[in-house]
Structure 1
Amino acid sequence: MSPNEDRKIKEKFKHKTWNEVKTNDSWAIFKIMAEFVEGYEKLSKIGPCVSIFGSARLRPGHEYYELAERTAYKLSQNGYGVVTGGGPGIMEAGNKGAHRGKGVSVGLNIELPFEQHDNPWIDKDKNLDFDYFFVRKVMFVKYSQGFVVMPGGFGTLDEMFEALTLIQTKKIGAFPIILVGTEFWSGLLDWVKDTLLKKFSSISETDLDLISLVDTEDEVIDVINEFYKKYSLSPNF
């Protein structure tokens, strides 16, 4: 464990004086507020967009990096902007594909101890930096009309389940959640069906209807377009 991690743990058990609460915890509210205000002001103007989630560790040449880039390119060609976490890997591929397709390319970056840095394919006026994960996640779900989930790690799972939970509880609209990669996602989906649904009944069968499982960029576009067609919407408006 690093000294910084050790310090963070010990601080949670430290008794704080009232002055420390006022100067540290209370004033953090204004920093949080500033991140929300900047996010709302910039993202309210981007138009219909689809979020692409996925691993920061998959580099150019990897099959899913290339698939993410092709998917983002086709999304932009169909009139959709692309929102990613703004970093390397799948996020870079998403922004690169949107940029190549001359579409809206948004990056919601966050400072992390490793892996994360801005990629060069984000529109200059649509690159936002966050210190707080929860503010960043609000921006993802508030300004996206679909979620494309590529293979990834804990962060990708967190973002996917956040979107699922908000849709399940009707806090946001039932926008498409598209998992890309049968080989990667089938084990998790089997566990969800066998354990959450059948064994423990902790979800409803209709909750599974929120998820589409695909393998190609064309299938992603078909799911998104079908959703817009269902509601007589156009991505260009």
Structure 2
Amino acid sequence: MTATTPDLPANEAQTTSPSYELAALDQSFLLGPSMRGVRFLLEFSKADEALRAWGVRSTIVVFGSARICEAGSPDQSRWYREARRFGRLASEEGGALRPEQGQRDNVIATGGGPGVMEAANRGARDAGAPSIGFNITLPHEQGPNPYTTPDLTFRFHYFAMRKMHLAMRANALVVFPGGFGTLDELFEILTLRQTEKSPPIPVVLVDQAYWSSVINFDVLVAHGMIGPRDLGLFHFAETAEDIWACLLAGGVRPSQRVNG
């Protein structure tokens, strides 16, 4: 006689259990609290891999308000115009158009949104150069501006990782007028410079009248909150040409390497 195999019970309960799903495909698991560190790593690695593929060795970061409009008030239209002009000038003169041994330096990088960010990315595109948009997911969703290079347009969940990518390749920081977000990013970089946690890159604040009315740096010195030498961590400029001159005086050069 031939032995018969008894019918096995159905295993549907096992194969449909969330625990059986491959970890890499399990969204509930990947988006859970225990995987926060993994998500942090993924946000770093995805952008880092794309930037390396494009040979982006260093950047010039441009901050400023997303609320500034090209057709806005006289001040707003001036800020937009100068940000666009600077994006083009820096891209033409800084090395983004002339990769050396596959490496691009001083590529314009912004937060990827509208306003000043759009203007700087637009200027880079006017020059025919690539530029970067480091977008962030917000409660009121804000799409990327249409001037960033598609392959270099990123979206982050974590502000901290976005800030890291903005800072880690930066040869310079250019800050146009802005609000809370711009102030947050400005003081992040100034703190890194003050504490020598980042290389000595030039920081330029555009429109001295605006910044002097918003922040009284001299009062911070008078109260002993910062030292007189800390005022040398940044400079003021008014036009695209002024900004570029400040960056050159601060050590920015085409094909300049940065320390990671």
What TM-score range do you get, normalising by the shorter chain?
0.7 to 0.9
Q: Deviations over 1:28-64 (max 9, x none)?
A: 2211110011122223431332000001111123221
Instruction: Check conservation: 1:51, 1:83, Cα contact below 8 A.
Output: yes
Higher deviation after alignment, 34-43 or 125-134: 34-43
Q: Cα offset for 1:236?
A: 6.5
Compute the TM-score of the two structures, normalised by the length of structure 2: 0.76
Q: Which moved more, 1:123-132 or 1:37-46?
A: 37-46
- Corresponding position of 1:171: 197
**Cα drift, residue 213 of structure 1:** 0.8
* Residues 93 and 254, structure 2, Cα contact 8 Å, conserved in 1: no
Q: Does 1:219 align with 2:227?
A: no
Provide the C-alpha distance between the structure 2 equivalents of 1:158 and 1:43, rounded to a whole number of angstroms: 24
The alignment of Structure 1 onto Structure 2 pairs a total of residues equal to 210
After superposition, the C-alpha distances for 1:55-81 in whole angstroms (9 at most, x for unaligned) are: 111112322111110111111111231
> What are structure 2's unaligned runs of at least 5 residues?
1-29, 72-76, 95-105
Identify which of 67, 72, 83 aligns with 1:57. Answer: 67
Return the alpha-carbon distance in structure 1 between the equivalents of residues 168 and 50 of structure 2. 12
What secondary structure is seen at the aligned counterpart in 2 of 1:103? Answer: coil
Give the C-alpha shift of residue 116 in structure 1: 2.1
CA distance in 2, matches of 1:23, 1:78: 43
For 1:91-106, list aligned pairs within 5 A.
Answer: 91-106=117-132
Deviations 1:70-98 (A, max 9, x none): 11111111123100000111111110001
Note if 1:75 corresponds to 2:90: yes
Q: Which residue of 2 aligns with 1:9?
A: none
Normalised by the size of structure 1, how large is the TM-score? 0.83
What does residue range 158-237 of structure 1 map to in structure 2 within 5 Å?
Answer: 158-189=184-215, 191-194=216-219, 196-199=220-223, 201-228=224-251, 233-235=253-255
Between the two proteins, what is the percent identity of the paired residues? 35
What are the superposed Cα offsets for residues 157-179 of structure 1, whole Å, 9 maximum, x if unpaired?
00000000001111111101100
1:24 and 2:47 aligned: no
AA partner of residue 208 (structure 1)? L
What is the distance in 2 between the residues matched to 1:99 and 1:93?
10
Q: Are the structure 2 counterparts of residues 198 and 158 from structure 1 closer, same or farther at C-alpha, using a change threshold of 3 Å?
A: same
The structure in which a higher percent of residues are helix is 1
Matched AA of 2:137: E
Q: Which residue of structure 2 lines up, in the alignment, with residue 85 of structure 1? A: 111
SS at match of 1:235: coil
Mapping of residues 95-134 of structure 1, within 5 Å = 95-114=121-140, 116-134=142-160
Cα offset, 1:23, TM superposition: 7.7
Stretches of 4+ aligned residues off by more than 4 angstroms: none
